[in-house]
Amino acid sequence: MKRILKIAAALLFALLLLGTFWFLWQKTRPVKIVYAVVQPKIDTIRQFVVATGKVEPRDEVLIKPQISGIVSEVRKEAGQTVRKGDIIALVKVIPEMGQLNSAESRVSVAAISLDQTRREHQRTAALHEKGVVSQEEFEQSLAALAKAEEEMQNARDNLEIVQNGITSRYKEMSNTQIRSTIDGMILDVPIKVGNSVIQANTFNDGTTIATVADMGDMLFRGKIDETDVGKLRDGMPVKLTIGAMQNVELDARLEYVSPKASEENGVVMFEVKAAVAVPDSIFVRAGYSANANIMIQSREGIVTLPESTIEFEGSDTYVQVLAGPEGADPQTFERRKVGIGLSDGINIEITDGVTPDERVRGARIDNPKQ
């Protein structure tokens, strides 16, 4: 038994000794370094500046009443399309007792004056037929009667306005009918039946009945950093991506860059606006957050390489060009100075030093096949 144990221990020691020698031999072998080989290609490089913001209608119109009262009916709701002049809501006037009493008193006085003027005219007319009263006096009597009738009508209209906010003669011009002032879509109706509303006047903006906007004329409003604002100019093409709409890219055109900056969290930002071209098949809601990619430069048909293949040394740039045949072992490279141009952060333009037929050293391959 002891002999068997001695033999097993000897075999185990021999295996450990051989494993140690194998490990040390592997560690002393030179590491084989293999690089990916990249071929320059003819491509297009575009450089963009990114602005963040939101898409909204160019103009949002706040519909406000021209009379104070209580909302008696709401005929439209958010999301509906309206034409100019369509009724959105109705307002019931609550008369002020002093004004109501004064208007009723004016009607009574006008009625008394009209009755008296009418009787005087009848007497004048009878005397005119007998030739006792001249034509001039008869015409003056007619004018007085017409004035009394007009005053009576004005008093009645004033009473109707105080009571109802509307006269029977001008129903289509009633202030109690709140109408849309433009063609568009209703974005919001913040009032409900029974709410009190205040008319727009010199001292008060008035209660907003509805917000209406033309959803066919959309505008991107965003902010851009001061380091990029100097590269922008009106008319630049913009590609708009909306977070809520996957795989949708809208065309836009830059139309405004603010001449004055604003500071946000210690960062100086400038406002930009771009007119958005929205296809009929797409509905863009007001307030969608969006990113605007503003193209500031574009180069087509140029020789490009991945920017990771470029070696920067001061103001000079170099690449490692494959010196031997592709697939040779080991790989050999020649360091060569090149000229560079436009970059989009991934690819970079090569102006000279490398042709499209050559091969350039790329990233290191960590686990090459032996």
Indicate if 188 and 224 belong to the same structural domain: no
Give the angle 65-67-100 at the CA atoms, nearest 5°.
165
Q: Where do the H-state alpha helices sit in 184-302? A: 226-229
> Does 15 fall in a domain?
yes
Tens of pLDDT, residues 36-45: 888 888 888 8
Does residue 351 form part of some domain?
yes
370 found inside a domain: no
Q: Are residues 77 and 132 in the same domain?
A: no
CATH number, residue 359: 2.40.420.20
Spans of the chain, pLDDT less than 50: 173
| Cis peptide bond prior to 330, omega within 30° of 0 | yes
Q: Per-residue pLDDT tens for 292-348? A: 988 888 888 888 898 888 888 888 899 888 887 776 667 788 888 989 888 888 888
Whether residues 239 and 290 fall in one domain:
yes
Number of folded domains that form the chain: 5
Based on the fold, state whether residues 24 and 148 are members of the same structural domain: no
**144 within a domain of the structure (yes/no):** yes
Phi, psi of 251 (to 5 degrees): -85, 145
| Token representation of residue 175 | 């202030």
Single out the residue of 265, 236, 263 nearest to residue 252, CA to CA: 236
169 in any annotated domain = no
Q: What is the mean pLDDT of the chain?
A: 82
311 and 279 housed in the same domain: no
Query: Does one domain contain both 71 and 186?
Result: yes
CATH code for the domain in which residue 115 is found: 1.10.287.470
Q: What is the pLDDT of residue 186?
A: 93
Per-residue pLDDT at 7: 74
Would you call 125 exposed, middle or buried from its count of C-beta atoms within 10 A (0-12, 13-18, 19+)? middle
Residue 91 lies in a domain: no
CATH of the domain at 71: 2.40.50
Residues 39 and 140 in one domain: no
Name 361's bridge partners: 37
321 domain-assigned: yes
CB-count burial class (<10 Å; 0-12, 13-18, 19+) for 49:
buried
Are residues 230 and 121 part of one domain? no
Contacts 24+ apart (CB under 8 A), 322-330: 322/37, 322/358, 322/359, 322/360, 322/361, 326/37, 326/359, 330/32
Residues 189 and 233 in one domain: no
Question: Does residue 170 sit within a domain?
Answer: no
CA separation for the pair 301, 43 (Å, rounded): 5
Both 130 and 257 in one domain: the answer is no
Note whether 314 and 352 are same-domain residues. yes
Spatial separation of the C-alpha atoms in residues 181 and 247, rounded to whole Å: 36
* Cβ neighbours of residue 82 closer than 8 Å, sequence gap 6 or more: 76, 88, 180, 183, 184, 185, 186, 212
In this structure, what DSSP letter does residue 40 have? -
The residue out of 164, 189, 223 marking a domain boundary is 164
Q: Domain span at residue 225?
A: 49-57+215-298
Q: Which residues contact 138 (CB under 8 A, 6 or more apart)?
A: 124, 125, 128
Q: Is the dihedral of CA 84, 89, 95, 96 positive or negative?
A: negative
Backbone angles phi, psi at 213, to 5 degrees: -145, 155
Asked if residue 182 and residue 81 are part of one domain, the reply reads yes
Q: What are the beta bridge partners of residue 223? A: 52, 271
